[in-house]
Amino acid sequence: MPDNLVSIIMPVYNAAPFLADCLKSIQQQSYSNWELVAIDDFSTDASFKILEEASSFYRQIRVIKNTEKGIIPALSLALKNANGHFITRMDADDIMPADRLLKMVEALNAASPKTVVTGLVEYFSTTVVSPGYKTYQDWLNKNIQEANPWANVYRECIIASPCWMLQTQELRDIGGFGSLEYPEDYDLVFRLFKNQFPIKALPEVLLKWREHPDRTSRNSEDYAQESFFKLKVKRFLEFEKPLENLVLWGTGVKARLTAKLLLENSTPFTWMDLHPEKYPDGIFDQVILPFREIEGMEKVKLILAVYPPKKEKLKMENYLKNLHLKEGETYWYF
C-alpha cells in the first residue's frame, strides 16, 4: 500500500442531486494523496453517469458497479478494491470540509495502533434541520469528546457513519464489513468497540451532514428505531456477559421496546421504575418494582431507559455511584 494514501469508499444510490457538491468537496481537499472508490448501488437516476464523467477527469476516482444490492455489499466491494494505507467512508449526499483528510491522517500518524479517528459533525439543509437531528448532532459531538465515549455505545451510534478513518489493514483484520447487520454503521461501531479501538476525536467539524427527505435513514426499515434496538440488545447480550442480575429501569417507549426484545431473547431481567405505582398490573406480564429494590442485589448490570432532566439525572447518577455502579461497566443508557 502506498504510504499515507487514503482510500475514500463511497456507496452511491440515486444521489444525483447531491453528487456534484460531494465530489467537489473531495477534489478540493488540502490533502491530495487520496483515491475515491465509488460503488454505484444499482442507481436508477444519473448517478452513474455523473461518477463516470468525474472519473474521466480525475484518475483518482474509480467507479465500480455493485454486484449485490445494498450498502453492506457496496462497502465490502469498495474495501476489496481499496489501495490506501488509510480508509474512510463518505456518503454521496454529504460534504467534506477542506482539511478533513489532512487532519485525520495527521491524527492517525500520531496515534497508537488500532485507533479510529473521528471529528465533529454539522447537519445542514436547504430547508430546516429538524430539532431531533440537531439534538443528536449536539449529543454526538459532546459524547465523542468525553474521556470514555464508549460508555454510551448502547445509547446511540457514537461515530457518524461518514466521519471516521483508520488503517485499512486493521479494518480488514477485524472482518471489514463482512457479516455486519443493519443498521451497518452502528454494527461497525460495535465491531470497533469489541476489538477495543480507542477513539481519537478531533475538535473540528469534519463532516457536513446533509439533511433531506430522501435520506436512506429516513426511508428504510433498516434504520428504524426498532432495528437499532434489535441490534443494540443483541450486541449487549453478546458483549456484557455474565448477566446474573440484569435490571431494566424505565417504562417509556424505549424501555418497553428493550423489555420486549429481552423477553424474545429469553433473557431474565428485573424491571424497575421510579414510579412503579403507576403500573399495578405490570407490563407484558412483568411486575414493575420500586427502583430501590436494586439496593439488595449483587453483581447488578443495569440498563437505563430513563432520561430525566439534567438536575435529576445528576441525582440519579450519584445514587448509582453510591451503589458502586459505574457507567459503561455496570450501567448503560439505552
**Rounded CA gap, 86 and 265, in Å?**
38
pLDDT band at 127 (very low <50, low <70, confident <90, very high): confident
Contact 102, 32 (CB under 8 A): no
The predicted structure's pLDDT at residue 217: 65
> pLDDT at position 271, please?
98
- In the block, cell 474509480 appears at 62
pLDDT tens column, 55-66: 999 999 999 999
Show the cell assigned to 59: 484518475
Looking at the chain, which runs of residues are DSSP E strands?
Answer: 6-12, 34-40, 61-65, 86-89, 116-124, 164-167, 199-210, 245-249, 270-273, 288-290, 300-304, 331-333
Query: Is residue 232 within a helix (H) or strand (E), and if so which, with residue range?
Result: helix 225-239
Q: For residue 124, what is its C-alpha cell? A: 445542514
Smallest CA-to-CA distance from 159 within 172, 180, 176, 144 is with: 144
pLDDT at 314 over 70: yes
Bridge partners (DSSP) of residue 286 are 283
* Mean pLDDT computed over 302-313: 91
Q: What is the mean pLDDT of the chain?
A: 95
pLDDT tens digit string along 249-291? 999 999 999 999 999 999 999 999 989 999 999 999 999 999 9
**Distance in angstroms (rounded) separating the CA atoms of residues 96 and 99:** 8
